[in-house]
Amino acid sequence: MKKLLLLLMGVSLITFSGCSKEEPHDPMETFYAYQSAFENQDFETMYELLDEESRRNLNKEEYVERYESLYESVPLTDTKLEPRMEIFDIEKKLKTEDSMKVPVNLSMKKEDENITYSFDATLVKEVNEEEKAYYRIAFDPLLVYRNYQLTDTIEVEEKLPERGEIFDRNGKGLAVNGELLWVGMVPGRIIDHEAAVSALSEALGLSVEHIDKRLSLDWVKEDTFVDMKRVSYEELEKFESLRLQYPGITYRVIKGRVYPYKEAAAHLVGYVGLVSQEEYEQLKPEGFPIDTRVGRSGLESLYEEELRGEVSRSVHILDAAGKVKETLKVMGEAKGKDLHLHIDIDAQRALLNELGEDRGTASLVNYKTGEVLALVNAPSYDPNAFVLGLSQEEYSALQEDPDKPLLNRYTRLYVPGSVVKPLTAAIALETQGFDPDDTISGTGDTWQKDSSWGSYSVRRIQSPGIPIDLRKAMIYSDNIYFAQTALKIGEENLIKGLERFGIGDEDSTGLGFMTSQISNDGTLSSEIRLADTGYGQGQMLFHALTLPRAYTAIADGGLLKELMIVNEERRPKETTVITEATADTVRSYMRDVIVQPEGSGHQANLPGRVLSGKTGTAEVGSGDTYLTLGWFSVIEESESSPYITTMMVEDMKDRGLSGYVVEKVKRFITTYGQ
């Protein structure tokens, strides 16, 4: 409605009724109408108020486009046009002159910047066909914007963002934007074709036939760089030597994603790959090209949107030569968001090194802060290979490897076995009527409650041959004691107690951890299943962080911590799940597992270190699929290293059961404690 009124006001200045008694046109009406239209950014009405010469030199469409391309793309807001002299003086001067310059201030707001500038607007007297005088505004580029010229243009420049990088807690790059070598050949430079192709074939692991086929493609000219393969920048010296020795072989240094620590953080960090057609269709409207690389696994995938960033758009005023006169606005960041982790890559590498060629997973957790300092998976793979390009044969070899290096073991579920016993002990200590000093017989290898169990019995790994109370049951890792204790606790109390320790909680990291469980259906209605659950068998399943998270409560006075991998600069959520007294008591039992010579974790008893731990042996499958899992988790009481180290090795056959894992963890603890 306002726009219509302004337009009518403007038109009324041109169209007259022809009445002989019509009042002379007031020139200030034109000024006020233009002033109002400018403040409302009604560019069409502003055009109608221009003088005839201005409209002859600048058509309406071009005029409106100039304003809209500038005012709407930035945008420019709060536009105002104010005279710098008294209205009375303007009117007085106009009575004696056919045109006059009106000093004005133009002001506008550009984001957080207030822009004000001054110049003289010109009012021009014109006569219509009926010889009636009226006034119009003479166009001046300064009515558009400060320092504006008609030869200026508005350009919106788009720039692809640099991908955000991933760093460990000490600022070491785990996924960085680095340099790669793009190795190829230039046909016109080749002197000895056979020798050069043969040398490149050996260096790149490509067949001679493949290289010759690339050189024979239709688009190849004598001076064409024919790309063959991307390789790590670490091989620069090797390919520089080939370039000098065999003319025709060459390379280009290009930008690319680099994973400096290779296998050490592959499953955690992940890797990037080219977009699929479907992904491209989603990203295309945002300005991303078809060769965009996106996260394919791990944190690269989970934080894809943050790491990818957005295409930045800069609005420039260009002069007649195409040079930037002024940058009006920059939208979007030049780089995606960097990701900072709690991970210590040195601890990560040390843990992976201890796993060696075994299949398994391990973690290092700060029980005071909930920070995950290491989370490893073995065997692993080099994520750089996916960026450089894997042949079908290489990819098939990874997929068909019986040790499954691409499998992310730390997110999957495993039977925990005896490492659950400290949790059962804590629940028992908080169960009314339970006495930790009560004993059971320590002789005999098997036990069943009664004949209703049929042929099923709970088996001991070793028979202590002495009466067993709760403390001794922890030291000897006695299955029979904890089976009987689970029956005393009862189904409801055991389930509630385990749930308080976080068993069954949904993954809060977003990394795809499967949900741990107490049983398949959430109940322990069977006595046998209830008894087996007490020592970590039955249908109980944990992922790699289930146990260390539960142990944070035992390590830190009953406080269960939220575990965090990405540094969100906040304290973890924590919940009191057992009393401080219970936590201290259970930890003292676990201390004896390390300190006492008969303890299953005694190998890890290090002088000067206060370590409390629990070993675990879990049985999985039967017949040809039977596996024994070896666990060990140890709490260190230390101001400088308040850590829980946990390791699980998949196949313990002929390896000394959990003692094999204890030795590995011991070596690691010795390393990080120095």
Catalytic residues: 418
Q: Is the peptide bond before 103 cis (omega within 30 degrees of 0)?
A: no
Q: Do 25 and 135 touch, CB atoms closer than 8 A?
A: yes
d(CA 34, CA 24): 19
User: DSSP string of 600-655?
Assistant: TTGGG--TT--EEEEEEEEEE--GGG-EEEEEEEEEE--SS--EEEEEEES--TTT
* Residue 326 C-beta-side C-alpha neighbours within 13 Å: 13
Tell which phi-psi region holds residue 171, choosing left (phi > 0), alpha (psi between -120 and 50) or beta: left
Look at residues 494, 583, 577 and name the one whose alpha carbon lies nearest to residue 530: 494
Q: Do 245 and 191 touch, CB atoms closer than 8 A?
A: no
Phi–psi pair at 326, nearest 5 degrees:
-155, 135
Q: Do 90 and 16 touch, CB atoms closer than 8 A?
A: no
Q: Do 420 and 635 touch, CB atoms closer than 8 A?
A: no
d(CA 482, CA 55): 95
User: DSSP string of 283-341?
Assistant: HGGGT--TT-EEE-SHHHHHTHHHHH---EEEEEEE-TTS-EEEEEEEES-SBPPPEEB
Parallel, antiparallel, or unpaired for β 324-331 and 153-159?
unpaired
User: Which DSSP state fits 414?
Assistant: B
Parallel, antiparallel, or unpaired for β 339-340 and 166-167?
parallel
The number of helices, as runs of H, and strands, as runs of E, in the chain is 24, 23
d(CA 536, CA 658): 14
3-state secondary structure of 507: coil
d(CA 665, CA 362): 9
